[in-house]
Each structure stands twice: as C-alpha cells, then as structure tokens.
Amino acid sequence: MISEIITIGTEILIGSITNTNGPYLSRKLTDVGYEVRYHESVRDSYSDIRDAIELAMKRSNVIFLCGGLGPTQDDMTKQALAHALGLELVFDEEAWEYIVNVSMSFSKNITENNKRQAEFPKGAIIIDNHKGTAPGCLLNYEGKQFFLMPGPPREFEPMADDIVENYLEKVAGENFVTSLRLLNIGESLCESIFREEKIETENVEINTFAKTGEVEIKIIAHAENPEDVKRIGKEHAQAVERVKELFKDHLYGNGERDSFETLVDLLREKNMTISFAESVTGGTLATMITGVAGASDVLKESYITYSNETKEKLLKVKPQTIEAHSVVSKEVAGEMSAGLYNKTQSTYSVATTGEAGPEPSTDHEVGTVFYSISKNGEEIMGGKRLFKGDRKTIQFRSSKFILASILLHELGENNGRK
C-alpha cells in the first residue's frame, strides 16, 4: 500500500521544530507492511496544502495529513482538503460535545473558534483524540484514504497507534515482525555478520536501527497468500532463531523495556544493589539508573569524585597510586571501586576515571576511560576503553557500555553462559 505523510506547519519549514511524527508513523506503517514512499512538509498556506493534497492523490493510496487542526485561522488543513476534493465541511454535534468535555477536563477556555475543530469534510469518520481538543478523521474518497491527525507529538503518537491498529485496511496476508535489541556491538559489524551468514531470504528482510549505544534488529516477513503463511512464518521464525544465536552475547530483549530498565529489574529481582564512584562520567551512570522507576531499591548512594583530593578523602585512593600511575589509570579505577565497596557494601561497585576532553590532563588520549566493576568486592571486569566523540558523548557512551557490560554479565549468569 503506497502511502504518504504530509506534515503541515510553518515551524517545520523554518526549522523551529523537527518533524518526528513522520518517522514515528513510518515505523508503524512499515511494521504492518505499508510502503511509505513520500514525506512532504508544507507551510500553513491554503494553496500549498491543497497542492500537496492534489499531488498526493496522483501518487499515493493512503495519505496522512498531520497538523493544522487547531482552532485558529492558521489551521486550515480540513478546509484545504474539503476544497481539493470538492466536499463541504459539516459541523458534527458529537465531536463538538467531545471537544467541550475535553476542554473542560483540561480546564481550558472554550471559544467560538473551537467550533472550527468540530467541522469535518462530509462523510468523514471521526477519530477521537484523547490528549487534546482536535479530533482526527478518516475520509474515504475515490479509492483513496485520507487520515487527518493533530500535529503535537503527544496527541499525534497515540492517534497513530490507534489508526494503525483499528482503522487501516489490512495489507493482504500476514506480517511477521520481530524486534531484537543488542548492546556493545556496532551497527555495521552487526549488519556484516548477518549479511555474511545470509540470513535474509527472498521473504525475510532484516533492518537495523542504530539507537544511542545500541542496535535494534528488525526481522520482517510478509506472506501475501494464505497458502504461504505457514511456510513464510517458519522461514521468519528460523531467521529470528539464527539471529538470536549469532548475537546471544549481545542480546538483552525486544525493546519493550530499555537496557537501563532491564538492568534495574534484574538487580531488584536478585536483591542486588549498585553504587558508583564517578570521575570521568560525572554522574551519568547514576542518572541512567535513577531515571528508572524503582531505582531506589538498587541504588542507595553514589559519588561523583572529580578531584584527586576527593578520591583520596572519600574513597581512600592512595596518593602514591595517583603519583605513580597518574589519576587516569587502571590502578586508580581499581582503588576507587575497592574504596567504594568498603563504604557502601553494594553488590556492584563501579568506578570510572578518564579523559573527557576537550584537552587531556594526562598523557592519555581524550576519550580514554578506565573502569573497574567489582561484584561483592571482587573486580570482575575493568580496564581501558577508548570512546570517540565530544565530552558528553564520551560520558554517555562509556556509561552505557559499563551498564551494558553488567547487564550482559548478569544475563549470562542467568543462562549459565559465563
């Protein structure tokens, strides 16, 4: 099904906001077997919107119009659509009641302008907006489907979920989509491995998505004819199994819980705790953990020890060790995590020291991170790693790498792999 996403708003064209609705909906549509062939953005201009609609009718079957459903004169998507299709706008009593109720629940004033939001092209099916006052709609017209959706992502995204689930014509046949999340492996290495192993077939496609510090692998298959469902489903399942086996040392889940949530869940289940002594990462490790609900069960206290003085005072790092090896060293990281364990008795004691840049303070290159991870007081992982990027990127990547290492270690323990 050839589809097109038109986003409407001058803010997009002057670069004031980035269009995230397009990618959000595109991912959803791709998962259900639609082919998104065009993204187009136009200004809040009646003629530009109308032209975009006329163009889309020539080249696409399913057309999504996002934005311009608000109550002001700037908002004219419905008007332009009605005009392009030669339909009149009809005031919908039920939609109006709904708008009044939603406005009241948000304690928003309702004005005469809001009535525009209850007008729809004749024949439209109204789609509820649970997060705002602008309902969406579906219009079937000469074999084309038009979906009108609100612009703000917090209203757009739930409606996109709703539309994909309840309003789209099903693509003939069946879709198979499996998502797997990997840590501590690069996208291109990942891609070259499954390419080399020739896991993709005529029916099974694999896409990779590089997320911040992780890779999502999506394994997709589509069986158009009922008689192929079983065979292609099996092909898909085999591909999934092969990918899982190939990447078992990196796999942590399907992305429903992110890696930090998965780690906190796991530590909590096992009654484990974690503490950090952060120098180069400067609080990033703690922030990643405390961003998860329930973090308080696993993290009780944590330290940012930026200066040598603080490392000595709080963690009992020996001045001689700093003197002999410099503060950016395996030895200092080791003494930091040992000192941290003595202070906190946490299951995991994690220490970092390194060079975040922009200028190095020691002989080490910017991006050098020494880390030490102890479990019940014994160092189980640690050493030196080099991370690329600017200061914040180095902090983020090294912290994500460390937490990923702990998560993969614990998952390995669960599977008896390590």
Give the whole-angstrom CA distance, residue 299 versus residue 297. Answer: 6
Nearest-approach distance from CB 64 to a copy of itself, in angstroms = 13
Q: How far is the CB of 124 from a copy of itself (least distance, A)?
A: 26
Q: Which residue has the tokens 């959803």?
A: 28
In the complex, minimum distance from the CB of residue 349 to a copy of itself, in angstroms, rounded to a whole number = 14
| Binding residues for a copy of itself (CB under 8 A) | 12-20, 22-28, 30, 36-43, 48, 51, 55, 59, 207-209, 276, 281-287, 289-293, 295-296, 299-307, 309-310, 313-314, 356-359, 391-392, 395
Region of residue 273 (left: phi > 0; alpha: psi -120 to 50; beta: else): beta
Residue 56 C-beta: closest distance to a copy of itself, Å: 11
Assigned token pair, 364: 């080490």
**Least separation, in Å, of the C-beta of 254 and a copy of itself?**
17
Cα distances (Å, whole numbers) of residue 404 to 200, 278, 296, 399, 401: 28, 16, 19, 8, 5
Report yes or no: 149 and 129 within 8 Å, Cβ to Cβ: no
The structure tokens listed for 322 are 């700093």
Q: Residue 205 pairs with which residues in a beta bridge? A: 220
In this structure, are strands 62-66 and 144-149 parallel, antiparallel, or unpaired? Answer: parallel
C-alpha distance across the termini of the chain, in Å: 47
Quote the least distance from Cβ 39 to a copy of itself, whole Å. Answer: 4
Specify whether the CB–CB gap between 35 and 220 falls below 8 A: no
Burial class (CB in 10 A: 0-12, 13-18, 19+), 388: exposed
Nearer to a copy of itself, 129 or 302 (CB): 302
Task: Identify residue 242 by its one-letter amino acid code.
Answer: R
For residues 213 and 283, which CB has a smaller minimum distance to a copy of itself in the complex?
A: 283
Q: Which is nearer to a copy of itself, 303 or 341 (CB)?
A: 303
- In angstroms, rounded to a whole number, what is the distance separating the alpha carbons of residues 244 and 181? 10
Shorter beta-carbon distance to a copy of itself: residue 161 or 301: 301
Distances (CA, A) of 182 to 290, 300, 348: 22, 28, 22
Closest CA to 183 of 260, 256, 259: 259
Q: Nearest distance from residue 185's CB to a copy of itself, in Å?
A: 17
Residue closer to a copy of itself, measured from CB, 306 or 401: 306
Output 20 or 238, the one with its CB closest to a copy of itself: 20
For residue 225, what is the enclosing H or E element? none
Q: How far is residue 6's CA from residue 15's CA, in Å, rounded to a whole number?
A: 16
| Closer to a copy of itself by Cβ: residue 20 or 376 | 20
Min separation Cβ 85 and a copy of itself, Å: 21
CB 185 within 8 A of CB 250: yes
For residue 107, give every residue at least 6 positions away whose Cβ sits within 8 Å of its Cβ, in sequence order, or none: none
158 versus 283: smaller Cβ distance to a copy of itself: 283
In this complex, which beta carbon is closest to a copy of itself, that of residue 141 or of residue 306? 306
Smallest gap from Cβ 14 to a copy of itself, in A, equals: 5
Structural contact between residues 320 and 331, judged by C-beta atoms closer than 8 angstroms:
no
- Residues paired with residue 221 on neighbouring β-strands, in sequence order: 176, 204
Nearest-approach distance from CB 12 to a copy of itself, in angstroms: 7
Q: Of the two residues 287 and 349, which places its CB atom closer to a copy of itself in the complex?
A: 287
